[in-house]
Structure 1
């Protein structure tokens, strides 16, 4: 991700990449620097033993869950349909239950010491509690139907779900009902010129988590909807495996020097010049961004009118 951001060539992109790499390096260096400053603390570290074997197996379960999610991404991108979202969530739950059963002592691996069920130590108890806390929002997400707008789940639970599980699929048919032009830049541009409105472009991705968060959480808010009503809206996917997505990705990079999603642009349809643009997850300032684009459009048209 940092390489993609730096490839944009903008000052902000280069700074973000540099900042991210510095943080990445510092996080990895801190433990070694701390132990070199206080070498006697090494003696207090616990020796490897059964706890290390248990920890490795727990990490194995976590890697299995991560593998499922990473397999889901190309499946979604290539539209193979082998791993629907509900199947991915169900696999997460099965892996979590298997991990909890292991920590409870119902079974073991290899040469691991057989435990009596429910006779567990503090470390295993903490692992069971954490696993249960992770499984809870995943189970809620599996039971709740993902929608284009806000789900009926509590906001905190919704945020945890978004961090842990695949984003809900895009529901473009709902967007079309609300007046969006999906993957139709030419049609949206013609409509904006016909109605004398600015054009709002949403450069998005099929499996872009932040895109889904913006669509579900920010777009339906009243201040944003008020600004959307004054514009023609188009959503352009840049990561589908078709020629249109390649065209839209090239348009985003060549015109705006950006390759990340989501990326939002308000432009004047008369000459396709940019009135305002922003990117990423911007829940608080998004309505202001739209308003600035609308203000620039109005002032430009007022000055050009006789």
Structure 2
């Protein structure tokens, strides 16, 4: 052994001592820098309105938050909860023939904004010859609250609102005004936890009427109106009711005879005292398949909207049923999506792990089958574990989607170190099993199982074609059916590797093990290092410079620990060199763990401006641009989504798209889902997506945007913008 190598253990021990000294010094500095959370203090002056419920005539009302705290630059959800005494009711946005809607007049800290109320579908309340739309017993009226990026963590936002509403019975109506308040802490470093009301608010948001892929026309013949609606979601509808937005536009108490057609349905309506034939009729179409906001332009009835059986009146909003056909379709789409997921840009590092498993594995048919099945088992266990966590968190009120784990800085930092450890193993600095044999599964399939787990870790943030529908549907299905869909996704993802391992003909084509495997092993370490750097970059977007520095120290401590451990493994017999005591790698590994925990608690910096002169996405920003007659290109993305970054580099950030934006005058809005954001999660769910990327092109005058593919080209984006501009111009 050369003198340099003999001195290596002593050098690393000295390095470890210095590193521990730096750690000891860093801990109090991190505390002084505000790493530990401080007690919340109000951002606003003291207010006489205290948080909590307020009681009025036959009503108790309060402001409740979906999550226990908010993060800077995010959108959270606050709801007005009304507990209404038996025999009394409040009203929808259109109260019907009497009463008045609930209104909220907000008093908010500087920079905080509130959306309009997201109205759940109302009940129909018959009062003799009158018909009202309202709520009884208990209702949640959600509102999106935008938190400014400059909101300092550790503070508490005092959210106040004056609620004006009518509380009525069949004989008496009482106007009520209540001053309500809610203290909403601002925190960083961890994902917001759901409050007790979170699950119910989530269900209200999921079931609220939303713009849908429906076309509507309103035809008048004397005192009769025919509302014809066509679109895929209406197929097989058995019940329907139309709720107009404008009070008095229709005779609310009149019946609404309806018939089905091969492509939609038709309702017969009676105009009200405020009906204007020159104005489109807007409202909510509720069926047993769901509820959608529609805008019916005056014109001839749509083809295929009549001629079928009569429909019954729909009483309440319903969630699309978990029919066997829907479950089967979602499962098949998940299987196809899992297959295609192997080809997505974000999964390229996984290909290296699979290549390692194939190259290092045995060619004996029995052992190859074992490896293939162990790999599939690792994939399935990991997919189902992530799916179970996702479903449980959403049931607990979290506004999250696929890839949610990389929205947590601690998870991102930990995965970066895991990938670093895999790379060091492939580089031969220590042994976990025996290099490629560990990944290939020579020891009872354990390595192949680990390969499946690591593959899912890297692939989970991605979505592929067919996955969007499958995952979106899975999140509306019962838990058992949803897990079956996720299992199909895992089977599709693991199927190519399994097919090779089960095919003797393909196995015979693989090269035999030999000295070339050592060089391949060193080469395959490079994608692992690249993945670790990518995860570190994602972490840098979730943390500040101090957090990145602590993560770098953690990576150094982990490297020292593994190198020292590798040194002990090479001794004969193992561990006989006293210059490398067992405590050294253990203390270094503990140092890495502590540093990682400290790094994950550092607050992130201010959000940087996006490229292409983009503005932050919000529903209000979309509406403002459309009101100005501008098309809108929406990019819902995340820094941990490699497919998103691939599209931005190869399509969105190109000269043809820049020219199309200039040519059409379109607004470019970017929604960043790197950290949790309830508004973005709601928008993804609105378009039946469970994760990013999502690309939309909105056209002025149209209720529904065009959805672009998940893999973009400059031509696809430019053509969509040109179509939107042409349609907007012709509509004028």
Aligned to 1:166: none
Aligned to 1:300: 727
Aligned to 1:248: 683
- More contact order relative to length (CA 8 Å, sep ≥ 6): 1
Distance 1:192 1:87, change over 3 A: farther
Q: Does 1:80 find its partner at 2:513?
A: no
Write out aligned runs for 1:27-176 (5 A): 46=364, 75-80=405-410, 83=413, 86-97=416-427, 98=430, 102-103=434-435, 123=513, 125-139=515-529, 173-176=607-610
RMSD between aligned residues: 5.0
Whichever of the two has the greater Rg, that structure is 2
Aligned to 1:266: 697
Aligned to 2:710: 280
What is the SS of the residue equivalent to 2:708? strand
- 1:135 offset after TM fit, Å? 1.5
Q: State the TM-score, normalized to the length of structure 1.
A: 0.52
Q: State the TM-score, normalized to the length of structure 2.
A: 0.25
Aligned to 2:613: 179
- 1:177 offset after TM fit, Å? 5.6
Higher strand share: 2
Residue 716 of structure 2 is aligned with which of 289, 292, 300?
289
What is the SS of the residue equivalent to 1:236? strand
Distance 1:198 1:243 in 2: 24
CA contact (8 A) 1:206 1:240 kept: no
Distance 2:338 2:682 in 1: 34
Distance 1:192 1:238 in 2: 23
Residue 640 of structure 2 is aligned with which of 188, 193, 207?
207
Show CA shifts across 1:191-220 (max 9, x none). Answer: 4533x3200122335633311211233222
Aligned to 1:4: none
Distance 1:123 1:209, change over 3 A: same
Distance 2:419 2:632 in 1: 37
Write out aligned runs for 1:219-230 (5 A): 219-229=652-662, 230=665
- 1:174 offset after TM fit, Å? 4.4
What is the SS of the residue equivalent to 1:264? strand
Distance 1:84 1:22 in 2: 25
Distance 1:234 1:92, change over 3 A: farther
Structure 1: where are the runs of 5+ without partners? 1-6, 25-44, 111-121, 148-170
Aligned to 1:233: 668
Show CA shifts across 1:84-136 (max 9, x none). Answer: 6753442232232335993599xxx99xxxxxxxxxxx625343233222222
Distance 1:47 1:304 in 2: 66
What is the SS of the residue equivalent to 1:281? coil
Distance 1:82 1:294 in 2: 35
CA contact (8 A) 1:239 1:245 kept: no
What is the SS of the residue equivalent to 2:409? coil
Aligned to 1:20: 336
Distance 1:288 1:216 in 2: 14
Higher helix share: 1
What is the SS of the residue equivalent to 2:519? helix
- 1:141 offset after TM fit, Å? 6.4
